[in-house]
Structure 1
Amino acid sequence: MIACPSSLSPSPQPPGSLFDLLAQYARSQPAAIACASRYRMASYRKIWSRIERATARLQGDWQVTPGDVVAYCGQGHPDALVLYLALVRCGARLWPLEHPDAPVVLADHGAGLPLKMVLFDDDGAQPRTSATALPLSTLIGSHCPHEARAVAFDPAVPSLLAIGEGGDFSQHSLLQLQAAAPSGLHEVHGRLFDQDVLGPVVLPTLAAGKTLVFP
C-alpha cells in the first residue's frame, strides 16, 4: 500500500528535474521523511544516498549499461523504487513483475530481452532464470567502493517495461509517467509500478518533497 497525503496539492514538475529536486531536498530538508512504513523510515537525505549507492553498484559491481534490462520480482518493496530510479540514472530499464505468476512470466518472456539480472524480495523465492538473480537487499545492503558515474539524462528514454495481454512488451519513459499528484488518499496493495500508482502518485509525491507511506 502506498498513500499520498491529502495535504499534497498538485504541483507538476518538469520530469527532467526529478533528480535535481531529490538532491536539493537531501540538502535543504535532509530530515524530512521521503518513505515511511511500519518497519522503517527513510529521510530524503537517506533516499538520495541510497539512489547514489544503487547507481554505483549497478554500474561498478554489476556492469549495468544503457539499454540493459533488470527485472524485479516482488511486491512493492520501497527499495524497488530506489532500484528503478537508479536504473533511470544508468539509462537502463526496469521490468517489474509484481504478481504471483512472476516466475512463469520471467521464464516465458525473459529470453527475448537483454536481461542483465533479476532482483527479488528477500522474503520471496529465488526465481529460476539464466540471468544473475540476487536478493534486493544486495543493492544497497553494503558499502560500494565505486562512485556513481554521470550518464546523460533524458527523461524521454524508455525506463519501464510492461507486458500487455497479448504478450507484447510496451515501454514507458519518466517523461510519460510523471504527472501532477492528485489530491486525497490513494492506496495500492503490493504493486508499486502500476500505471495508476507510479506516475500519478509516487513520482510527483517525491518531486513535491512529501512522504510516501508503505504498509
Structure 2
Amino acid sequence: MAVSTVHIPATLPEALARQEPGAPALRFGAVWLSYGEVRAAAERAAAIAWHDWGVRPGDRVAWLGANHPAQIALLFGLARIGAMLLPLNFRLAMAEWQRALAECGPRHLVHDGDWAQAARDLASRSALSAHPAETLSAADAPPAPVHAGPDAPVLLVHTSGTTGGPKAAVHTQANLLANMRIAGQVQEMTPADTVLTVLPMFHVGGLCIQTLPALHAGARVLLHARFHPGETLAAIAQARPTLTLLVPATMRALVEHPAWSGTDLSCLRAVWAGSSLLPASLVEAFHARGVPVCNVYGATETGPFSVALPPSRAMDHVGSCGWPAPEVEARLGPPLGDAAELLLRAPNVVRRYWPDLPACDAAGWFATGDLAQRDEDGSYRIVGRARDLIISGGENVHPAEVEAALMLHPGVAECAAFGLPDARWGEVVAVAVVRAEGAQVSQEELVAHLQSQIARFKVPRRWFFVGQLPKTALGKVQRAVLARQFT
C-alpha cells in the first residue's frame, strides 16, 4: 500500500512552485495575479538579474519603494540564483540610505514609480545602477540557472538601531521558510484565507508575519502600497479579508476614523498586532467589535514570528504576548528585579549580521534585550527593554508599566517614560506626554490618575509635555534621546 507524503519545500522557489498555478495569489490595485503568474514574474526577475545585470550567487540587489508585487517577484527571483534582496526603508534620509548601501554593497537598485527620482539620486551618489520595477517584466530572457539552497542568504533587513547603529540581519532561505511554516501554523492559514497587507514590506513585520506565510499556505494576499485608514476600512468592507496585521499607530488610526463604527468587521477572524506592548484601550476597541487582537512578539533577527497569542486566548490574555510558537524555544536569563531578559532559539532565528558578526551565542540562543515575565500558564509578558529599566531608590521601574497605565487616560495620545539622573534617588522616573488632540489635561490630573493605577514610587516625578516623541525610522520611541534632551 502506497504511503502519501507531504513535500516540505527546502527553498523559496520550491514553496512557490508547489501552489496551484491557476489559484489567485496577489491583488494589487484592481489586478489579480495567479500563483502561476507570480512564479513567472519571479523567474523573469531571476533571468533579467542574471543575464542583463550580471547578478551572481551572494550578490545583493536593493529595493526602494512602497509595497509592490515587483518586490515579491524580486525576492523569489533572487532566491533562484542564490542572491539577496536588501529592502530600503523609504522613510530614511539620503545619508542613511547611502550608509546602508556602503555597508552591504549591492550592485543594483530597483525602485517603484513614486521613488524614481530618489532612486536615481541615490544611484548616482553610490555608483550603482537603478532600474524601474517595470524592467522586471521586460521581454523574456533565457531561464536563469538555479542556485537556490536552504543555507543561501536571501534577505538582508536592517534592525531598528535603538542600541547603537542599525545592523543588517542575514536571513537564509531556510530561515524564511521556517518562519513561513511557523507563522502559518499558528495563524491556521489555509487557501481559504485572504490576508490584507498594509504594513511596509521593507521590514520583516509587513513581509514575514503574514504576507510570505500566506503565499506559503496558498492563501490570497490583498497588497496595499501603504497604509491609509480609509482605504483599509474600505478593503475590509468590500474585499472581506479574514486576517490582517497592524501596529498600535495603525490601530489607533482605524479606531479614530469616521468610518470605523459603520464598517462591518465580521469577516476578520483575527487581527494580529506586531508589537510587544499594545495599549489596552486599542485592544478593547477591537474586542468590543468581536475581533480578537492576537499579539505576535519577535525581532528582525527572529523571523520575526516567535511568541504568539492565539485567537482563542486573545480575549482573556490582554497584555500578554502568549506562548512560544511551534519550533521556538524560549527561556529567561538571570533575574533583573522581577523580570529577566528573554532568550530565543528557533530555525527562523538568523545566525549572523552582515557581513559576518554573530547574532547568537555558540548554542544558538538570541538575546532579545527585552525584559519579560513568565506566567504560571507558560505565557510571556514583555515589560520593557533591559537597557530602559529605571532603578530609583533601589526599586526597579519598567517604563512600559508606567506608559500602559498612563495610556488609559483619554487625554493622552502618546507617552514615553525614561530615567533621569538624581542626586538623592540615583534615578527618577520622568515622562514625556503627547496630549490627545484638543485635550487640555494637566500634570496634576495625570498624577492623580496614575496614583490609582500603579505604586507611588513608579509615578513620574518629572513631566514634559511635547508635540511628538522622537522615534526610529521603524516607529520605536527613542528614550535615550529624551533622556539626553531633558537631562
Work out the CA distance in 2 between the residues paired with 1:167 and 1:17: 28
Choose the corresponding residue for 1:56, options 47, 59, 66: 47
Q: How many residues align?
A: 199
Match of 1:204 in 2: 213
TM-score, length basis structure 1: 0.82
Shift, 1:17, TM fit: 5.2
Q: Is the 8 A contact 2:56 2:81 kept in 1?
A: yes
Work out the CA distance in 1 between the residues paired with 2:204 and 2:129: 27
Work out the CA distance in 2 between the residues paired with 1:168 and 1:69: 16
Match of 2:132 in 1: 135
Work out the CA distance in 2 between the residues paired with 1:206 and 1:120: 23
**Cα gap change, 1:159 to 1:134, in 2 (>3 Å):** same
Match of 2:157 in 1: 162
Of structures 1 and 2, the larger Rg is shown by 2
1:213 aligns with 2:209: no
Q: Is the 8 A contact 1:116 1:132 kept in 2?
A: yes
Match of 1:40 in 2: 31
Percent identity for Structure 1 against Structure 2: 29
Match of 2:97 in 1: 106
Q: Is the 8 A contact 2:25 2:218 kept in 1?
A: yes
Work out the CA distance in 2 between the residues paired with 1:191 and 1:102: 17
User: Is the partner of 2:115 in helix, strand or coil?
Assistant: coil
Q: Structure 1, residues 137-178: CA drift from partner, whole Å, max 9, x if none? A: 1111x2133222122x22222211122311332211222223
User: Is the partner of 1:115 in helix, strand or coil?
Assistant: coil
Work out the CA distance in 2 between the residues paired with 1:39 and 1:103: 32
Deviates more, 1:202-211 or 1:15-24: 15-24
Between the two structures, name the one with larger relative contact order (CA 8 Å, sep ≥ 6). 1
**Cα gap change, 1:200 to 1:13, in 2 (>3 Å):** farther
Work out the CA distance in 2 between the residues paired with 1:102 and 1:77: 21
Match of 1:74 in 2: 65
**Cα gap change, 1:51 to 1:102, in 2 (>3 Å):** farther
Amino acid of the structure 2 residue aligned with 1:145: A
Choose the corresponding residue for 1:88, options 74, 79, 82: 79
Structure 2: state its 5+ residue gaps: 1-5, 225-487
Deviates more, 1:193-202 or 1:48-57: 193-202
User: Is the partner of 1:205 in helix, strand or coil?
Assistant: helix
Give runs of ≥4 in structure 1 deviating > 6 Å: none
Q: Is the 8 A contact 2:60 2:105 kept in 1?
A: yes
User: Is the partner of 2:145 in helix, strand or coil?
Assistant: coil
**Cα gap change, 1:213 to 1:186, in 2 (>3 Å):** closer
**Cα gap change, 1:73 to 1:17, in 2 (>3 Å):** closer
Work out the CA distance in 2 between the residues paired with 1:17 and 1:64: 19
> Which structure features the higher share of strand residues?
2
